[in-house]
Structure 1
Amino acid sequence: MSLNSLTAEIRTNWTPEEIKEIYEKPLLELIYEASNIHRKYHTGSEVQVCTLLSVKTGGCPEDCAYCPQAARYHTDVKVQALLQEETVLAAAQKAKDAGSTRFCMGAAWREVRDNRDFDRVLGMVSKVNDIGLEVCCTLGMLNEYQAQRLKEAGLYAYNHNLDTSGDHYEKIITTRKYEDRLNTIEHVRNAGISVCSGGIIGLGETDEDRIGMLHVLSNLPEHPESVPVNALVPVAGTPLENQPRVSVWEMIRMIATARITMPRTMVRLSAGRTEMSLPEQALCFMAGANSIFSGDKLLTTPNPGVNEDQLMFQLLGLSPRKAFKEAGEVVA
């Protein structure tokens, strides 16, 4: 498969065999091809900076094996009720002042319920939008009506990760089905909200599972505008607390394969960055990553601080992507 054939069109009909062939390429060749495709559709030195805030923490009824916010696991995470609006708005303004252009609010809910808390979140969405940030939420499952209400409030993007392949999913989560996740993504898309959906590697999955997840994402009717690639951060008290950490080379393979199969998508280097050296992160950017979370925490797990990221940007010659810029414009 030549580079020219890969870049000829945006495809939503990838076969598992084609994705496997890409994923298993010699590493330097894979990085080279992904880097070329990245520069065709994106400004190579531009990286989207996002901030993620947990607006409601812990007490979740789900059994996601990786998550310290599940009520059934004994972790150090303390249950916290929905934050007050002024606290959220102050955090959003701080994020904007530090250079973030997207602000994501996460709530440890299994699903959105039509109640006072959801009304409060809608108010937060509207007011963060007024600050001039792209507003993202990750609140669990949504129905069509709830997705439409979020859109009307000014929501820009909604995150709902697939986590892993359909085959491996039931080994990680039993309290909802893979189809439930796909249905939520469809409701988000139908409401005209930008889709953010990716997954986690290091859950005990095989390479075939990783390829399977990328196959689902790259064959959606429209590619997600954002695909986060997370490395598991094992947390004491969760079923996956003793999982070995994934290598940077595995992250690079995932990022590069996502970039080649979904050229216009923002590929986000997400959880796991604290374990990466600066040169390792640089290789991820070379392989097609063009989005990061900045700030001390990703919901409840550690993340490099703003100052560290500013120094990294300066050293690597990277610049923050402006808010509300359409991704995937072909660069001449």
Structure 2
Amino acid sequence: MLRTDWTLDEVKAIYHQPVLELVAQAAAVHKEHQTTGEVQVCTLLSVKTGGCPEDCAYCPQAARYHTGVQAHKLLPDAEVIAAAQRAKDSGSTRFCMGAAWREVRDNRDFDRVLNMVTEVNNLGLEVCCTLGMVNEYQAERLKQAGLYAYNHNLDTSAENYSNIITTRTYDDRLDTLEHVRKAGISVCSGGIIGLGETDEDRVAMLHTLATLPAHPESVPVNALVPVQGTPLADQPRVSVWEMLRMIATARILMPKTMVRLSAGRQEMPVSEQALCFLAGANSIFSGEKLLTTPNPDFDADKQMFATLGLTPRKSFKDVPVGATVLGKAEAITVGA
């Protein structure tokens, strides 16, 4: 049975088990609720890079930091669609478009993003966006355009949030998740470890995610990739044991959620990634970049899949056969 009434003490007890006990428990939950050995391959493209007014301490796209990231305006539609087609041809089943905006504004750029959503949807890919804060009306417009998922990470605990970001509040984050959920878009929300937070912060963030009105459909677990020029440039690398604790605890708390092994994977050998899949991770980002930071490319991931005997998850797997996925042009009927 799925629970959204976990107590903080329960989450803490799960998280602080001996790591091998924790992984064994998570593996059992994973086997009960998921298809083991099946991993969703996702691709993330920065469609508008840099120049963001926020002060997220980890982010190379914040305008106030000098990180060497070259800002560019919204990419041409054709360039984005071509990138989505390449991702599909390489084995991705979800394509996520990221824009370095604080919030969505009702303007021509948003209209163009809506068109991109429709076009990518019509390729047969699950289309995801991460565009900053959205209101109810904007979430509804994204849904009507064919958006499948929306990513908006909590990043850290409510208690630690102001140490990382001061240009918006934790409640702003939660409000966006509520608007997305109300619009019928699948929620993708996770966090970053390695920001200087404590274990208590990590437990609190997982508790918040697991006690939302409904579990997020996808929970990315990111390890900080330190970037020179940001306030967190000198943070040490997160260990595999820390990643395992996060992934395994997320799997136990949210059995049917996709748990995504996200940023930081470039530094992880296949042996470490294999442990994460054993602990319940069943989604990755593939492709040379995650917005602006390095990431394993498609060929490296194909080799890893072959080595570990993993199979790619199909698009729209959780959508009932015969259901229609909205799009402005040709709507896709799943299973047709």
TM-score range, shorter chain: over 0.9
Residues in 2 aligned to 1:226 and 1:281: alpha-carbon distance in whole angstroms: 18
Does the alignment pair 1:19 with 2:11? Answer: yes
- The answer for the alignment partner of 1:73 in structure 2 is 65
Task: Select the residue among 157, 164, 175 that pairs with 2:167.
Answer: 175
Aligned with 1:105: secondary structure?
A: strand
Residues in 2 aligned to 1:245 and 1:23: alpha-carbon distance in whole angstroms: 20
Does the alignment pair 1:135 with 2:135? Answer: no
Residues in 2 aligned to 1:45 and 1:239: alpha-carbon distance in whole angstroms: 38
Aligned with 1:166: secondary structure?
A: coil
Question: Which runs of no fewer than 5 residues in structure 1 stay unpaired?
Answer: 1-8, 328-332
Residues in 1 aligned to 2:197 and 2:46: alpha-carbon distance in whole angstroms: 27
What is the deviation of 1:302? 0.3
Task: Show the 5 A alignment for 1:133-282.
Answer: 133-282=125-274
Residues in 1 aligned to 2:7 and 2:294: alpha-carbon distance in whole angstroms: 36
Amino acid at match of 1:322: K
Amino acid at match of 1:200: I
Aligned with 1:131: secondary structure?
A: coil
Task: Select the residue among 298, 304, 307 that pairs with 2:296.
Answer: 304
Residues in 2 aligned to 1:145 and 1:266: alpha-carbon distance in whole angstroms: 27
Does the alignment pair 1:99 with 2:91? Answer: yes
Aligned with 1:114: secondary structure?
A: coil
Amino acid at match of 2:123: I
Aligned with 1:141: secondary structure?
A: coil
Does the alignment pair 1:113 with 2:110? Answer: no
Aligned length: 319
Residues in 2 aligned to 1:31 and 1:18: alpha-carbon distance in whole angstroms: 16
Aligned with 1:80: secondary structure?
A: coil
Residues in 2 aligned to 1:13 and 1:120: alpha-carbon distance in whole angstroms: 40
Measured against aligned partners, the alpha-carbon deviations of 1:73-120 in whole angstroms (never above 9, x if no partner) come to 001100010000000000000000000000000000000000000000
Q: TM-score, normalised by structure 2?
A: 0.95
Amino acid at match of 1:92: A
Aligned with 1:239: secondary structure?
A: coil
Residues in 1 aligned to 2:273 and 2:68: alpha-carbon distance in whole angstroms: 29
Q: TM-score, normalised by structure 1?
A: 0.96
- The answer for the alignment partner of 2:280 in structure 1 is 288
Residues in 1 aligned to 2:142 and 2:94: alpha-carbon distance in whole angstroms: 16
Measured against aligned partners, the alpha-carbon deviations of 1:3-42 in whole angstroms (never above 9, x if no partner) come to xxxxxx1100101110110001111111111001001111
What is the deviation of 1:149? 0.1
Amino acid at match of 1:115: N
Task: Select the residue among 2, 15, 21 that pairs with 1:10.
Answer: 2
Amino acid at match of 2:31: R
Does the alignment pair 1:85 with 2:72? Answer: no
Residues in 1 aligned to 2:76 and 2:33: alpha-carbon distance in whole angstroms: 40
Deviation >2 Å, runs of 4+: none
Aligned with 1:104: secondary structure?
A: strand
Aligned with 2:164: secondary structure?
A: coil
Aligned with 2:216: secondary structure?
A: coil
- The answer for the alignment partner of 2:325 in structure 1 is none
